[in-house]
Amino acid sequence: MADKHHIALIGSGTIGLSFAALHLTKSTTSTVSIYDNRPDLYDYITEHLPGYIDPAECSEKSYSDRITLAPSLKAAVEFADIVQEQGPENEDFKTKLWPEVEKFARSDALFWSSTSGITATVQGKGMKDKTRLMVVHPFNPPHIMPLLEVVPGEKTSQAAINKTLKYWRSLGRTPVVLKKECTGFVANRLAFALFREACSLVAQDVVSVKDLDAIMTASMGPRWSVAGPFKSYHAGGGEGGMQSFMEKIGGTVQNCWEASEKDVEKFKINVKAGEKWEEKMWKQCEEEYGNVDTADRDAKTKKVLQAAAGEKK
């Protein structure tokens, strides 16, 4: 069980609400203050937050008096030991925010950004003490998905990283620390690499959007829920492990890589140049899926995570 924490959330879009739900649900003592400059904040939170909280995990009675809506940034952060921002995704907003937060926050508070691309080194450039700022990038929605990519900046201290890991692990989450700041961090780099290939194969008419998704849910999805790609191919190599796998299958792997490169170029799978393939792909998605029932997806995903972890229920 988590220690008692007070978390200030800056920004209450879908990620902010999902994080609020996560903090409140997974710890029964922690408190959350929300700061957002939208004028209807009270009505908005009252209407939308309950959709993120499973009543079987956390009753409204249990969480409703642990949230405060802060009238100012100062009020939000002054008592917090964790300040977590999910504001607009632009450098100007974030680089201005942190020196302000620093003015009002406790000297031992941790600062986390949910950004999907603006590094802590960049975000913290106007701060006095850069040691406690880091990226904590969720995989959406964070109240369902366990991954948190922890990406320290150049000045982030090991102590701040350790406290961050301890917090997330106490909530049963999976924080993973990246060793270097890089474009897109790791999860999106991996997902988008596969997505580019998916776009290319649809552009070439090898497969439809729907059939490609069917391939994923019947193969790599379940496999990678239980064992990631390295562990999977290492197992595939038998006693010789990954080395043996690459010695046997490496030629095929390389042929696929080379075919992919050629096709990506031929079919201009490039967001800037790629209107033709994009329109075709958009249309197929719209025709096939319309409005996706994300509640059903999330309920199934929770069960998948339990099954992959070997939990009984």
Q: Is 134 in the site for a second copy (CB under 8 A)?
A: no
Residue 303 touching a second copy (CB under 8 A): yes
User: Binding of a second copy at residue 214 (CB under 8 A)?
Assistant: yes
Q: Between vectors from CA 149 to CA 147 and to CA 151, what angle results, nearest 5°?
A: 170
Nearer to a second copy, 85 or 102 (CB): 85
C-beta of 259: minimal distance to a second copy in Å? 4
Q: Which of 72, 108, 270, 276 is the binder for a second copy (CB under 8 A)?
A: 270
3-state DSSP helix/strand/coil % of the chain, to nearest 5: 55, 10, 35
What are the strands, taking DSSP E only, across 86-188?
A: 110-113, 133-138, 147-152, 174-177
CA 199, 201, 203: angle at the middle one, nearest 5? 65
Indicate whether 47 belongs to the interface with a second copy (CB under 8 A): no
Three-state SS letters, 196-248? HHHHHHHHCCCCCHHHHHHHHHCCHHHHHHHCCHHHHHHHHCHHHHHHHHHHH
Residue 66 burial (CB count, 10 A): 18
CB of 1 to a second copy, least distance (A): 21
The CB density around residue 30, as the number of other CB atoms within 10 Å, is 21
Cα end-to-end span (Å), the chain: 20
Stretch of 39-47, 92-100, 120-128, 215-223 lying at the interface with a second copy (CB under 8 A): 215-223
Does the footprint of a second copy cover residue 196 (CB under 8 A)?
yes
Copy the structure tokens of residue 97.
Answer: 């925010």
In this chain, which stretch among 5-13, 23-31, 57-65, 305-313 interacts with a second copy, using CB under 8 A? 305-313
Q: Select the residue interacting with a second copy from 37, 96, 191, 266 (CB under 8 A).
A: 191
99 lines the binding site for a second copy (CB under 8 A): no
Give yes or no for residue 58 binding a second copy (CB under 8 A): no
* Interface with a second copy (CB under 8 A), residue from 40, 154, 166, 289: 289
Contact status: 29 vs a second copy (CB under 8 A): no
| Among 13, 47, 12, 51, residue whose Cα is nearest residue 32 | 12
Stretch that binds a second copy, among 35-43, 77-85, 121-129, 296-304 (CB under 8 A): 296-304
Contacts for 132 with CB less than 8 Å, ≥ 6 apart: 108, 109, 110, 111, 156, 157, 160
Q: Which stretch binds a second copy (CB under 8 A): 51-59, 66-74, 157-165, 301-309?
A: 301-309
By CB under 8 A, is residue 284 in contact with a second copy?
Answer: yes
Under rule CB under 8 A, residue 260 binds a second copy: yes
Q: Is 227 in the site for a second copy (CB under 8 A)?
A: yes
Single out the residue of 69, 147, 165, 170 in contact with a second copy (rule: CB under 8 A): 147
Residue 189 near a second copy by CB under 8 A: yes
d(CA 9, CA 94): 14
User: By three-state DSSP, how is residue 73 classified?
Assistant: helix
In angstroms, what is the minimal distance from the CB of 103 to a second copy? 31
